[in-house]
Amino acid sequence: MSRGPDWLSFRRYAAFTTGMALTLISLGIYTAATGAGLACAQQWPLCDGGVLPQSIPSFIEWFHRLWAMITGFFILGTAVWAWRARGTVSSRGRYAVTLATVLTPMQAIFGAITVTLNGALPGGYSAPVHAAHFLTGFSIFALLSYATLLAYDGRLSRDALSRSRLAVGVGLVGLLVAWVFARIDPVSSYSPPEQAAFFAVSLSAFAGLLAATRWLGELGELIPRVATGAAGALLFVGMVLGRDLVVYSAGVRFVNWLVIAAAVVLTAGAAWVLRGVEPDVSEPVYGSTDD
C-alpha cells in the first residue's frame, strides 16, 4: 500500500470518521425535530422531484443525506484501511470497524424508510423505525469510538491514571451539560437546536465514559470502572428516552430524570475514587507520535 502524507495515520483517520458520525447523528436529530425529514416530497433518494432541494427544509434534509453519504464512504475507508494494515491495527479494531461498515447501509435503509410516509412505504415514519434508525447510528458511533481507542494504544503521552481522570472528567462535564439541554430540564424547551446539542454532548460524554472504562481496566480499579460503564449504559437509556419513542408521560419524565441523575452520580463517584489513587511510577509512558 502506498504511503500517504506523514500527518495522516489510521488513528487520526478513525478519530476524524468518528467525529463525522457524531455530527451525522446530531444533524439527523435536528432534521427529524424540525420535520425537514419529510420535506423532500416524501422521496428518497430524490428530493422535490429532482436531485437538488427547492426549499430550506428540503435543503436541511438534502444536506443530511449528503453528509450521511460522505460519512458512509469514510467508514468504508476505515474498514479497508484496517484490513490492509493488519500489522498496525489490532484484530478487535478491525472487527469493530467492519461491523460499523456492515451497519452503515442498514442505517441508510432505516433512514430512507422514515421519509417515505404515505410514499413508497406507508407507515414508515413510526416509533419502531425511529428506534432502529437511532440504535444503528449509535452502534456505529460506539464501534468507531472503540476502534479509535484501540488505535491509540501505546501512542498517548499520559499514563493510564491521568488518562482515566481526564476521561472521567470529560464524561462528567458532558453529562452536566447534557442535563441542561435534556428534556427533563425545566429550563430547556427541547427545541430542535437543543435536541441536536443534547445528543452531540451526550455522545461526547459517552465516548469519554467508554475511554475511562477501558483505561481503568489497565489500572485494575474495579469500582470506578464499573461505575463509568454503568453510567455509559444509563446515558444510552437517557438518549433513547429523548427520541420520543414512547408517550412522554410524567412517569417517563421521572424515569428519564432518574437515569440521567444516576449517571451523573456514578461518574462523580468514579472521579472521587480516582482522587485517592496513587500513580504507578513503574508504568511506561509512551510518546504521542503517529508514525
Instruction: Indicate the pTM of the whole model.
Output: 0.90
Q: Is the pLDDT of residue 121 over 80?
A: no
Q: What local confidence, expressed as pLDDT, does residue 38 receive? A: 78
Domain ranges of the chain: 10-155, 158-277
Answer for the pair 129, 177: CB distance below 8 angstroms, yes or no: no
Distance CA 101, CA 73 (A): 9
Answer for the pair 57, 36: CB distance below 8 angstroms, yes or no: yes
Q: What local confidence, expressed as pLDDT, does residue 141 receive? A: 98
Can you tell me the mean pLDDT for 44-63? 84
Can you tell me the mean pLDDT for 244-259? 88
Q: Is 3 exposed, middle or buried (0-12, 13-18, 19+ CB in 10 A)?
A: exposed
Instruction: Specify the CATH number of the domain 158-277.
Output: 1.20.120.660
Most confident of 6-20, 43-57, 121-135, 269-283: 6-20
What digits encode the pLDDT tens for the residues 59-101? Answer: 999 999 999 999 999 999 999 999 998 778 899 999 999 999 9
Task: Read off φ and ψ for residue 123, nearest 5 degrees.
Answer: 80, 10
Q: What's the DSSP call for residue 246? A: S
Question: What size, in residues, is the chain?
Answer: 291
Q: Which of 22-31, 100-109, 206-215, 240-249 has the lowest mean pLDDT?
A: 240-249
Answer for the pair 20, 71: CB distance below 8 angstroms, yes or no: yes
Q: Which three cell numbers stand for residue 141?
A: 458511533
